[in-house]
Chains A and B, each alone.
Chain A
Amino acid sequence: MLTRLLSGDGPRSLPLALILLAIFLCLALAPFLFPGTRSVDTAARICVFILLVASYDLTLGYAGIVSFAHTMFFGMGAYGVALASTHLGRGFDALVLGTLAGALAAAVFALLIGLFSLRVRAIFFAMITLAVASAVAVLVSQLSGLTGGEDGLNYQIPRALTAAQKYLDEPVLGVRINGKLLNYYLVFAASTALFLVLLRIVNSPFGRVLQAIRENDFRAEAIGYRVVYYRTIATCVSAVAAALAGSLYAIWLRYVGPDTTLSFEIMVDILLMVVIGGMGTMYGAVIGATLFILAQNYLQGLMGAAAAGLEGVPLLPGLLDPDRWLLWLGVLFVLSVYFFPTGIAGRLRGE
């Protein structure tokens, strides 16, 4: 049953399996284990990014395509929900319609970019995706009448998914059973389901052809597989998954703006999460996204505490000053890439 759910591609390593299980249980029980707005918000973010990073792993790790347009697809899903909720008013129909429209837009864009540019060498494809993504980001920030520009869009989601809706009068285990909790489980369940779908895809015959193409595209052609066709489909599937992640993010945040979905910083973050977690493993996305977002959210606080605790010791409090958290984040990345060249998942699998 579990093997089938994981498409026969289990963690294949006990430590990796335990880590994944721990992450899964923590996320599944996050509102009860770590009550509080901030921690639940972090958990939801982790769910969304696991899906986003896994979809990027499909193109980068499995198909060997370097694309910088992934945040664009992510943004399309988010803006789809935002625009639909703004214009159609509050309601589930707006969420569904916005999600579908975002996914469709992402698929069409991916198809066009793929057909026009996947024939060229990898480096040119990367440049083209970078150019298109930058153009879209600029367009979104300029078309402020439609997209809210740099300020982004605030909108309302159905009351059933907000804290205002109470489902039980009494808290369970100290947690209020309200719409916000339902919203979290929507994000969690959808991310998990879509992750399993992606896992299924990379382990399907289609996924095997992608891996073959990544390794030797001439050889794949000589066996009879149309490389451009497979690469384009992979790009489209990955774009749709990214858009769906964006929609979930928009439903959770009730806000979209260029900085939360479209910025190049997020693109770099995704790239780092894939590399740290382990390319071409899917499970690497889970570990990479979890580690990265935890570090992003809690490293600063941790360092503040450490600096306060080391008061009086020369040099150390200054080095651990919370303002220097980015430096330490950077050091962590350098070390992880140095010690785990195949990523954490790859290393745990002994590759």
Chain B
Amino acid sequence: MSEPILKLEGVCTNIAQYHILQGVDLAVSAGGVTMLLGRNGVGKTTTLRTIMGLWRAHAGRVLFDGQDIAVLSTPAIARTGIGFVPEDMGIFSDLTVEENMVLAAASGPLDPARLDWIFAAFPPIRTFWKQPAGNLSGGQKQMLSIARAMAEERRLYLIDEPTKGLAPAIVATMAGALRDLKAQGASILMVEQNFGVAKLLGDTCAVMDDGRTIWAGEMRELAEDAALQERLMGLNMENA
């Protein structure tokens, strides 16, 4: 694996009086997929939001390509080339699918070749191109949310639970698109509860518990070691 493109060093984040992150160390290698795993409520989403500056880290550093981005505003962080797919999808339901996509390509017009690729990965995006995004089904909204992040080339993708609450057929579509994205050499940090998807896509992985990273290593190593899974996440992921 090459140099890490994103590195978190001892990041702590408080939300009101709660110490949510208490020292997160994490590295995302360039051109690789890093999975962020752990039980519910251990701070995975907060970690992604802290990287985006939506929560402020009060200690530690967030190094993106060597630059500390923890001091930047959220729009400035986005403009360094980070695409963020939030857990709640956050699509603009009053705008059309097209307008959602155009807005997401903040640096210029949409690239037709890239758009064709997105259409191939997510056919509903093309079908409902001129429709208000609010009319889409839950799975289609999730597709749009990811398509929006892919609207232009990003240096890093942060993706929060892309398969949550989706029908199995759509999970397969989603996993296929993400594998496509990975094949193009994208750097991705993904939170994923579906261990099957995590195993399929992840190169490396970090496990969090109680606001800290408690284990980091190769995805394969974790996938093959049921005892390790049991110890890290308190349950056997194979049967989950």
Contact = CB atoms under 8 A, between A and B. Distances in A.
Interface in B56-86: 73-75, 78-79, 84, 86
Interface string B79-106: 1000010100010111100010011101
Interface residues of B, number: 21
B103 A209 contact: yes
Nearest to A213: B92
B106 A211 contact: no
Contacts of B79: 224
A37 to B, nearest CB: 44
A224 B93 contact: no
A347 to B, nearest CB: 16
A226 B94 contact: no
Interface stretch (A144-152, A214-222, A304-312): A214-222
Contacts of A221: 54, 73-75, 78
A208 B95 contact: yes
A209 B104 CA distance: 10
A315 interface: no
Interface centre among A208, A220, A223 (most CB of B within 10 A): A223
A220 B79 CA distance: 12
Contacts of B148: 223
Contacts, number: 57
Interface residues of A, number: 19
A226 B75 contact: yes
A280 B95 CA distance: 12
A219 B73 contact: no
A216 B84 CA distance: 14
Contacts of B93: 215
14 contacts: A205-B102, A209-B103, A221-B54, A221-B73, A221-B74, A221-B78, A222-B54, A222-B84, A223-B78, A223-B84, A223-B104, A224-B78, A224-B79, A224-B106
B156 interface: no
B52 interface: yes
Interface centre among B73, B92, B102 (most CB of A within 10 A): B92
Interface of B: 52, 54, 73-75, 78-79, 84, 86, 90, 92-95, 99, 102-104, 106-107, 148
A346 to B, nearest CB: 12
Contact of A225 (B54, B75, B86, B95): B75
Interface of A: 205, 208-209, 211-212, 214-216, 218-227, 280
Contacts of B73: 221, 226
Contacts of B106: 223-225
A211 B94 contact: yes
B95 A211 contact: yes
Nearest to B93: A215
Given A211-B94, A215-B92, A215-B93, A223 B103 contact: yes
A216 B141 CA distance: 15
Nearest to B98: A208
Nearest to A218: B54
Contacts of B95: 208, 211-212, 215
A284 B103 CA distance: 26
A283 B139 CA distance: 34
A224 to B, nearest CB: 3
A224 B75 contact: yes
Contact of A219 (B86, B99, B102): B86
